[in-house]
Amino acid sequence: QVALYKSVPTRLLSRAWGRLNQVELPTWLRKPVYSLYIWTFGVNMKEAAVEDLHHYRNLSEFFRRKLKPQARPVCCLHSVISPSDGKILNFGQVKNCEVEQVKGVTYSLESFLGPRISTEELHFSQAPPGNSFQQQLVTKEGNELYHCVIYLAPGDYHCFHSPTDWRVSHRRHFPGSLMSVNPGVARWIKELFCHNERVVLTGDWKHGFFSLTAVGATNVGSIRIYFDQDLHTNSPCYSKGSYNDFSFISNNNKEGIPMRKGEHLGEFNLGSTIVLIFEAPKDFKFHLKAGQKIRFGEALGSL
């Protein structure tokens, strides 16, 4: 069954869905089409910056609707906030170079992030060569590596934001598959997140290494990062296991891209998953329960 599912041309279907989403709907058809979607997925249009359904020319515009300015207040008391609306699938310390996809199903940290990026680019000290991949990411003695997985359902707000104050130094794009990241499928297919198309943003915050990964899914061929005009996702051709790197560090820009907590970072078409992997002191505490719903701006954890 897994092999059969993997053989489904999800990238082709996602591109077709993307084109369909961009077809302009006649004004008279917009309200019934969007109302059906709102009813099916429980969308709260009272939070939308524009509540009038006739305003959205196509499904893509409706999926990427913006919120009213005060709909998601950003928590100032905690060091890491949720970058998006969604459901918490998993969180905690990274152990044995493995990250939990959903409870009981893990994937390799190195397969997910890819080979380590040069220390010069991330302003990190050189790790001893014998250390594990996980230990090489931890830059400060006494720190641990943490992770948090957030699943965005089709009815959720599809933009994502910066979860903390940090500097983005590097982008790694894995073309990959576009299988569903629904929690049921995530329990079924091992290393699902390592197979799927994803955009890994890495950099550093005040406690060391920090990364945010936007994972694509079926019908989510488009992952957009607002400050990265060179990123193009769901292209027709790619080599399995390939990836491409882009550095935001240059002779003219030694600091990368500074992001403030809550600042707009990017968007999905439809829903998908965001994975945070970051370094923090041992007394970092998550304020979460697995399976809980969360909204952009709410606290994930703090010191």
- Classify residue 180: in a domain, yes or no: yes
Rounding to the nearest 10 degrees, give the CA dihedral for residues 36, 42, 46, 49: -80
- Classify residue 17: in a domain, yes or no: no
- Classify residue 227: in a domain, yes or no: yes
Q: Total domain count for the chain?
A: 1
Residue 39 pLDDT greater than 50, yes or no:
yes
3-state helix, strand, coil in the chain (%, to 5): 20, 30, 50
State how far the Cα of 94 lies from the Cα of 146, in Å rounded to an integer. Answer: 5
Residue 208 pLDDT greater than 90, yes or no:
yes
Q: Locate 180 and state its tokens.
A: 């569903």
Q: Where are the alpha helices (DSSP H) in the chain?
A: 2-6, 10-21, 27-41, 59-63, 109-113, 133-137, 183-188, 192-195
Name 92's bridge partners: 147
- Which one of the listed residues 161, 170, 173, 207 is annotated catalytic? 161
Phi, psi (degrees; rounded to nearest 5) at 149: -115, 125
pLDDT digits (tens, 9 = 90+) for 93-137: 998 888 776 656 677 899 889 988 765 555 555 555 557 888 889
- Which one of the listed residues 79, 169, 211, 272 is annotated catalytic? 272
Average pLDDT of the chain, as a whole number:
83
- Classify residue 224: in a domain, yes or no: yes
Q: How many CB atoms lie within 10 A of CB 294?
A: 20
- Which one of the listed residues 60, 79, 82, 85 is annotated catalytic? 85
- What is residue 284's predicted lDDT score, i.e. its pLDDT? 95
**Domain enclosing residue 211, as ranges:** 75-115+135-302
- Classify residue 97: in a domain, yes or no: yes
Name 214's bridge partners: 199, 274
pLDDT digits (tens, 9 = 90+) for 251-270: 777 789 999 999 999 998 76
272 tagged catalytic: yes
- Classify residue 68: in a domain, yes or no: no
Q: Output the pTM of the full model.
A: 0.88
173 tagged catalytic: no
- Classify residue 189: in a domain, yes or no: yes
85 tagged catalytic: yes
- Classify residue 21: in a domain, yes or no: no
Q: How many CB atoms lie within 10 A of CB 44?
A: 13
Q: In what order do the strands lie in the sheet with 264-268?
A: 159-161, 264-268, 223-225
Q: How many CB atoms lie within 10 A of CB 65?
A: 19
Across the range 140-164, mean pLDDT stands at: 92
